[in-house]
């Protein structure tokens, strides 16, 4: 267990940061990935993990950058046992006909294509290493199942992550690669603080929503990561108990 190696994308803030710290505190070696170097360094220093943590800037929308991330992890630590495929972005909450095409493309490039590049490189490395295999955890979101108003780019890409997870889980069976998905609702990150002030609901009114501690998500990722490869949590939903999800629409 103590020699297992994880790659976490979007590791500098929010859910990625919480998951990275949970893994590091449990003895994992973690490669922190994100577009901005400074937040990655901050997480590395906060962890106090010394040689068990490595910060590697990466743009998940660039397939060559993602390949280089995995190659760097293998060069440094010899293998990859876990990919937490976490990096993602949203778009402005505007009516469908007002969403700029470039904004749509950016969300697709990061949330869908970037997720695929991570899965593809994880398969490349995990199939070839010895002992072979590993685990991939995709960050889906409550929006992989139920949309919010004015969220077509984010919701469409997160619904697509559901397909990535199911297909990669099927294709990974023959290579000892377990693939699952964590769907998070209202974790207490900096980006989610706006929800406490009120967000648009399905019936057209604005209402505040509760948040949960983001460290709970980190512990959920750690639980999934520590399972033996003979077992897999394909879908794990963790959410603020009183948020509007069941019956949202």
pLDDT exceeds cutoff 50 at 99: yes
Question: Does residue 83 or residue 200 have the better pLDDT?
Answer: 83
End-to-end CA distance of the chain: 43
pLDDT exceeds cutoff 60 at 230: yes
DSSP per-residue string spanning 56-72: EE--TTSHHHHHHHHHH
Q: Give the chain's domain count.
A: 1
Kindly list the catalytic residues: 154
pLDDT exceeds cutoff 80 at 154: yes
Residue 249 domain-assigned (yes or no): no
Residue 172 domain-assigned (yes or no): yes
Residue 248 domain-assigned (yes or no): no
Q: Quick one: pLDDT at residue 1?
A: 46
All residues at 6 or more sequence positions from 236 whose CB lies less than 8 Å from its CB, including other chains: 180, 181, 182, 183, 220, 224
Residue 82 domain-assigned (yes or no): yes
Q: What is the mean pLDDT of the chain?
A: 93
Taking the complete model, does pTM exceed 0.85, yes or no? yes
Q: Can you give the residue range of the structural domain that contains 13?
A: 5-239
Residue 245 domain-assigned (yes or no): no
All residues at 6 or more sequence positions from 62 whose CB lies less than 8 Å from its CB, including other chains: none
Residue 103 domain-assigned (yes or no): yes
CATH number at residue 43: 3.40.50.720
Which range has the worst mean pLDDT, 104-108, 121-125, 162-166, 189-193? Answer: 189-193
Residue 247 domain-assigned (yes or no): no
Residue 233 domain-assigned (yes or no): yes
Distance CA 232, CA 227 (A): 7
């Amino acid at each position: 267990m103590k020699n297992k190696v994880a790659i976490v994308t979007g590791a500098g803030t929010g859910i990625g940061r919480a998951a990275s710290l949970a893994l590091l505190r449990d003895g994992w070696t973690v490669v922190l990935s994100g577009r901005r170097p400074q937040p990655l360094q901050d997480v590395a220093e906060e962890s106090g993990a010394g040689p068990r943590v490595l910060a590697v800037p990466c743009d998940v929308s660039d397939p060559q950058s993602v390949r280089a991330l995995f190659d760097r992890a293998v060069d440094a630590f010899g293998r990859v046992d876990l990919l937490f495929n976490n990096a993602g972005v949203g778009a402005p909450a505007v009516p469908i006909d007002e969403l700029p095409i470039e904004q749509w493309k950016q969300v697709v490039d990061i949330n869908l294509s970037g997720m695929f590049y991570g899965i593809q490189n994880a398969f490349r490395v995990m199939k070839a290493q010895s002992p072979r295999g590993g685990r991939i955890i995709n960050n889906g979101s409550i929006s992989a199942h139920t949309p919010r108003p004015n969220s077509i780019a984010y919701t469409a890409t997160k619904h697509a992550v559901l397909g990535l997870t199911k297909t990669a889980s099927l294709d990974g069976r023959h290579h000892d690669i377990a693939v699952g998905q964590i769907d998070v609702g209202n974790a207490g990150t900096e980006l989610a603080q706006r929800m406490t002030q009120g967000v648009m609901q399905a019936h057209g009114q604005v209402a505040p929503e509760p948040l949960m501690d983001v460290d709970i998500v980190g512990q959920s990722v750690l639980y999934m990561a520590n399972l033996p490869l003979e077992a897999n949590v394909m879908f794990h939903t963790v959410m603020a108990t009183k948020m509007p999800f069941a019956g949202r629409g």
